[in-house]
Amino acid sequence: MNIVIVGGGKVGYTLTQQLAGEGHDVTVIDKRAESLTQSMDSVDVFCIEGNGASYTVQMEAGVQKADLLIAATSGDEINMLCCMVAKKLGAKHTIARVRDPEYQKQMIFLKEELGLSMVINPEMAAAGDISRMLRFPPAMNVEPFARGRVEMVEFRVKEGSPLIGLSLADFPRHIKARVLVCAVGRGGQAYIPKGHFVIAPGDKLSVVADSQSISAFFRSLHAQQRRIKDVMIIGGGRIAYYLTRQLLDSGMHVKIIENNEARCHTLSSLLPKAEVLYGDGTDQELLHEEGLLSTDAFISLTGFDEENILLSMYANACGVKKVITKVNSTHLVNMLDSTGLDTFISPKQITSHRILSYVRAMQNATGSSVETLYRLMEDKVEALEFRVHPSSRCIGTPLKDLPIRKEVLVSAIFRHNKALIPSGNDSIETGDSVIIATTLRGLRDLDAILEEA
């Protein structure tokens, strides 16, 4: 596909890497030469220095023939204008990054009037991810499928866990919950496990089921901590705002510590039920005065990765049960495996995954296309949701008789508003939503899970 990306910052660069890596023809537009240099030095893409909202610049970039334009600059208004110009020029699809809470209130109107195919708000998406993690305290990551009716939860197997030494085939006899282990991370490698796979301490497991079954699963492991009621957030940016709104609606008490006095006044007026404090979140004495040792969850959301990491390490050392850290630099996350921190949030990665899911769906308009896509296990595993169309070769044959590729596991089937954890005797039917986990990259049709005839 021919894709134009306006904005070469963190989100734009991440998208450039992933989309070019999947074989798309990518053109990047940015006013700043230094942003373009990073893309040109590391990825095979065409770059244009200029204003992405300019008719002339978009013509030079070939937007009139583009399948998709993604506007990912730091300015909401610029992004919407870029998309409007692109649609007028003839771009088939447009995606805008829009972050301001004021625009969220009128997003349906804006999408219709500007002809936007998709609007992505990285901070709102990140807040949603954090909120889901707080529902399952042992979870490092929670991804929703089938419009939230099925969830994939990633967690680490700790010393003393009853899972240690069990093969996956033994799960039904020992674990009183219907879940499926669909991916395992061990020693920097990712596996799509079979029944003989034996769980070891330190493994990262991804399990899939409906939320009730996942709660029952954690209870059976004696890993389900008490419900989170008190949350401390360091940093009062947009993620903190969106997250606090969600947590307050869930009945939680939220305390935000922010070092910008004007922002504190804004948050206090927007979130009257939250406790907003003006202060330095790195002040050890302040943290203890405000109840660090008694809080159920600590979430570090400042604008600096290193500060978030240090704050989270301190909260973890103080015994806070649930610690979540915002980190945008992937290489930093990879270095933190031995620190005790394992729950991270990255708005740019969330954004790129959502857009990549949309691009995969665009590529197959007639078959069983991708509806949802997430990357797990440090991006080594893809979890995809497919809506099954009548033309699929997978329909009607028991899973045990389908020539499914060894790198693929059919993890769940959602049918008639019910989640099914499939056995070999189950089959896929028209209209199902099928969730698969795979170490393969680039799948965009359900039939691609089958060995070639």
> Cβ-count burial of 115 within 10 angstroms (0-12 exposed, 13-18 middle, 19+ buried)?
middle
- At residue 337 the predicted structure's pLDDT band, cuts being 50, 70 and 90, is low
The strand pairing partners of 208, in sequence order, are 152, 180
Interatomic CA distance for residues 185 and 121, integer angstroms: 29
Residue identified by tokens 């707080």 is: 134
- At residue 368 the predicted structure's pLDDT band, cuts being 50, 70 and 90, is low
Interatomic CA distance for residues 154 and 208, integer angstroms: 9
Candidate from 103-107, 274-278, 309-313, 363-367 with smallest mean pLDDT: 363-367
Token pair listed for 242: 């969106």
Interatomic CA distance for residues 31 and 213, integer angstroms: 50
The strand pairing partners of 254, in sequence order, are 231
Residue 303: CB partners within 8 Å, gap ≥ 6?
235, 237
* Residues 410, 422 contacting (CB under 8 angstroms): yes
* Residues 246, 125 contacting (CB under 8 angstroms): no
The pLDDT mean for the chain works out to 91
Cα distances (angstroms) measured from residue 75 to each of 186, 283, 365: 40, 33, 31
Residue 139: CB partners within 8 Å, gap ≥ 6?
132, 133, 153, 154, 155, 343
> Cβ-count burial of 409 within 10 angstroms (0-12 exposed, 13-18 middle, 19+ buried)?
buried
Q: Which is more confident, 20 or 105?
A: 20
- Helix or strand (DSSP H, E) at 436: strand 433-438
Interatomic CA distance for residues 360 and 9, integer angstroms: 23
The strand pairing partners of 384, in sequence order, are 373, 436
The strand pairing partners of 2, in sequence order, are 25
The predicted-structure confidence for 193-239, as pLDDT tens digits, reads as follows 999 999 999 999 999 999 899 988 998 887 656 789 999 999 999 99
Q: What is the pLDDT of residue 94?
A: 96
Half-sphere exposure of 124 (CA within 13 A, CB side): 13
Interatomic CA distance for residues 83 and 101, integer angstroms: 19
User: Which residue, among 194, 187, 162, 165, has the nearest Cα to 176 in the 3D structure?
Assistant: 162
The predicted-structure confidence for 285-298, as pLDDT tens digits, reads as follows 999 999 999 999 99
All structural domains of the chain:
2-120 (3.40.50.720), 126-220 (3.30.70.1450), 230-320 (3.40.50.720), 353-449 (3.30.70.1450)
The predicted-structure confidence for 22-48, as pLDDT tens digits, reads as follows 889 999 999 988 888 888 888 889 999
Statement: the pTM of the whole predicted model exceeds 0.75: yes
